[in-house]
Structure 1
Amino acid sequence: MGHPRSGGRALYLILGSIFFFSGFASLVYQVVWQRLLTTYYGVGTVSIAVIVSIYMLGLGVGGYVGGKWVWAASSRVKLYLIVQLAVCGFGLLSLPFLTKIGSVTAGWPMSLSAICILVFLSAPTVLMGMTLPIVVQIASTLNSNFQRSVSTMYFLNTIGAAAGSLISSFVFISRWGLDGAVYWAVAIDFLLALAVFLIAKAPMFLAQEAATKGAVSNTTEGELPGVKLPAVIILTVGFLAIGYEIIWLRMLSILVKASPYAFSSILSVYLLALAVGSYSIGRLVDSKRIVNLGRFFYVNQMLIAITTALIIAGFVYFSEAPWLQLLTVKSFLTELHPPYSLSEMLSGSNPSGQNIFASFDIIIWPLLFLGIPTIFVGINIPLASVIVFASKRAEGIAVGNTYLLIAVGNAIGGIATTFLFLEFLGTERTLAIFVAVGILMAIGALKRANRIGIAAVIALSAISLFLFPKKGELYRVLHPESLTHSEGSTLYIEEAHDAVIYSVYHSEKGNLKNYINGLSHGGLLGGFNPMFASEFLEGVSHVSQLKDILIVGLGTGSFVDYALRMSASVQVDLVELSPSLIKNLKKIDSIRQMLSSEKLNTYIEDARRFLNQNEKKYDLIMMDPLRPSTAYSTNLYSKEFFKLAARHLNPGGVLVVWLGEPTIIRNTLRSTFKHMRSYERFALVSNEEFIFNAKNREEFLQFLSDEQRRNSLGTVQFIEQYTNDSYQSNDKLINTDRKPRSEFYFQL
Structure 2
Amino acid sequence: MKWYFVFISFLVGLLSLGEEIVWVRIVSFLGHSVPQSFSFVLFCYISGIAIGALLGPKLLRTKLSPLLIISNLLLFSAVLVLAAPWIIKYFTNSFFLVFITAFLIFACAGFKGAIFPLVHHWFSLPGENLGRTLSWVYCANLLGSAMGPLLVGFWLLDAYSMFSALELLGSIELTSGISILLFSVSSFLKHIAAVVCLIISTVVCALLFSESKNVLKTVIAEGFPEHEKISHVIENRHGVIFTLSNGKDLADAVYGGNVYDGSFNIDLVKNTNKIDRAYILAALQPQPRRALFIGLSSASWLRVVSAMPGVENIDVVEINKGYSTLVNQYPGANDIFNDRRINFFYTDGRQLVQKAINENKKYDLIVMNNTWHWRIYSTNLLSIEFMGMLKKVMNKGAVTTFNSTDSLDVVFTAKNVFDKVYMYRNFVYVSDRNLSQSLVEYKDRLCSLSAARVDGQNCGQPAYHSATQSLSSVHLLEWEEIPKAWLNGRSAEVITDDNMITEYRFGSGFSM
- Give the TM-score of the pair, scaled to structure 2: 0.83
Aligned runs of 1:646-661 on 2, under 5 Å? 646-661=391-406
Amino acid at match of 1:513: A
Q: Bigger shift: 438-447 or 658-667?
A: 438-447
- Please state whether the residue corresponding to 2:68 is helix, strand or coil: helix
Please name the residue that 2:84 is paired with: 311
Please name the residue that 2:505 is paired with: 745
> Which of 670, 680, 688 is the matching residue for 2:415?
670
Distance 1:563 1:584, change over 3 A: same
Identity %, equivalent residues: 18
Please name the residue that 1:220 is paired with: none
- Residue 590 (structure 1) aligned with residue 332 (structure 2): yes
**Offset of residue 718 of structure 1:** 3.2
Distance 1:426 1:364, change over 3 A: same
Please name the residue that 1:479 is paired with: 220
Aligned runs of 1:96-107 on 2, under 5 Å? none
Aligned runs of 1:182-581 on 2, under 5 Å? 228-285=3-60, 288-289=61-62, 291-316=64-89, 319=90, 324-327=91-94, 363-364=98-99, 366-390=101-125, 397-442=132-177, 443-446=179-182, 447=185, 449=188, 450-468=191-209, 470=211, 472-481=213-222, 483=224, 486=227, 491-505=231-245, 509=249, 511-524=251-264, 529-567=271-309, 569-581=311-323
Distance 2:265 2:402 in 1: 22
Amino acid at match of 1:674: D
Whether the 8 Å contact between 1:485 and 1:504 is mirrored in structure 2 is no
Whether the 8 Å contact between 1:536 and 1:622 is mirrored in structure 2 is no
Whether the 8 Å contact between 2:402 and 2:428 is mirrored in structure 1 is yes
Q: Deviations over 1:442-486 (max 9, x none)?
A: 221333642222322332232222234625312112212561664
Q: Deviations over 1:650-703 (max 9, x none)?
A: 110011121114221111000001111123411111133435133433324974
Q: Deviations over 1:685-725 (max 9, x none)?
A: 113343513343332497456556666847956323679xx
Whether the 8 Å contact between 1:529 and 1:558 is mirrored in structure 2 is no
Distance 1:698 1:431 in 2: 53
- Residue 637 (structure 1) aligned with residue 379 (structure 2): no
Distance 1:610 1:546 in 2: 19
Distance 1:574 1:506, change over 3 A: farther
Distance 1:485 1:701, change over 3 A: farther
> Which of 338, 341, 344 is the matching residue for 1:602?
344
Amino acid at match of 1:745: R
Distance 1:666 1:681 in 2: 10
- Flag as ranges the 4+ runs of structure 1 deviating above 4 A: 390-399, 505-508, 525-532, 704-717
Aligned runs of 1:34-113 on 2, under 5 Å? none
Distance 2:433 2:138 in 1: 58
- Residue 736 (structure 1) aligned with residue 496 (structure 2): yes
Whether the 8 Å contact between 2:242 and 2:255 is mirrored in structure 1 is yes
Distance 2:506 2:132 in 1: 43
Distance 2:462 2:217 in 1: 38
Please name the residue that 1:49 is paired with: none
- Coordinate RMSD, CA, aligned: 3.2
Distance 2:285 2:378 in 1: 27
Distance 2:11 2:423 in 1: 55
Amino acid at match of 1:514: V
Aligned runs of 1:9-20 on 2, under 5 Å? none
Distance 1:392 1:585 in 2: 65
Distance 2:288 2:2 in 1: 73
Please name the residue that 1:696 is paired with: 445
Distance 1:708 1:238 in 2: 61
Distance 1:290 1:661 in 2: 63
Whether the 8 Å contact between 1:675 and 1:685 is mirrored in structure 2 is yes
> Which of 454, 469, 476 is the matching residue for 1:718?
476
Whether the 8 Å contact between 1:428 and 1:470 is mirrored in structure 2 is no
**Offset of residue 628 of structure 1:** 1.2
Please name the residue that 1:41 is paired with: none
- Residue 616 (structure 1) aligned with residue 357 (structure 2): no
Distance 1:597 1:313, change over 3 A: same
Distance 2:78 2:364 in 1: 55
Amino acid at match of 1:587: Q
Q: Bigger shift: 505-514 or 668-677?
A: 505-514
Distance 1:387 1:711 in 2: 77
**Offset of residue 602 of structure 1:** 1.1
Distance 1:708 1:630, change over 3 A: farther
**Offset of residue 744 of structure 1:** 1.7
Distance 1:445 1:508, change over 3 A: same
Q: Bigger shift: 272-281 or 384-393?
A: 384-393
Distance 1:470 1:368, change over 3 A: same
Distance 1:573 1:484 in 2: 37
- Please state whether the residue corresponding to 2:224 is helix, strand or coil: helix
Q: Deviations over 1:516-566 (max 9, x none)?
A: 121111124686645542222333322252111111111211111101212
Whether the 8 Å contact between 1:680 and 1:717 is mirrored in structure 2 is no
Unaligned ranges ≥5, structure 1: 1-225, 328-353, 724-729
Distance 1:490 1:526 in 2: 21
Q: Deviations over 1:581-625 (max 9, x none)?
A: 221231222222233322211111111011111232111111122
Distance 1:505 1:297, change over 3 A: same
**Offset of residue 636 of structure 1:** 0.6
Whether the 8 Å contact between 1:269 and 1:366 is mirrored in structure 2 is no
Distance 1:262 1:467 in 2: 26
- Please state whether the residue corresponding to 1:495 is helix, strand or coil: strand
Please name the residue that 1:206 is paired with: none
- Please state whether the residue corresponding to 1:483 is helix, strand or coil: coil
Whether the 8 Å contact between 1:299 and 1:441 is mirrored in structure 2 is no
Unaligned ranges ≥5, structure 2: 452-456, 482-489
Whether the 8 Å contact between 2:370 and 2:402 is mirrored in structure 1 is no
Distance 1:680 1:491 in 2: 29
Please name the residue that 1:102 is paired with: none
- Please state whether the residue corresponding to 2:33 is helix, strand or coil: coil
Amino acid at match of 2:502: S
Distance 1:490 1:265, change over 3 A: closer
Distance 2:276 2:46 in 1: 46
Whether the 8 Å contact between 1:426 and 1:495 is mirrored in structure 2 is yes
Distance 1:278 1:623, change over 3 A: same
Whether the 8 Å contact between 1:386 and 1:398 is mirrored in structure 2 is no
Distance 1:366 1:507, change over 3 A: closer
Larger helix proportion of the pair? 1
Q: Deviations over 1:132-171 (max 9, x none)?
A: xxxxxxxxxxxxxxxxxxxxxxxxxxxxxxxxxxxxxxxx
Whether the 8 Å contact between 1:229 and 1:384 is mirrored in structure 2 is no
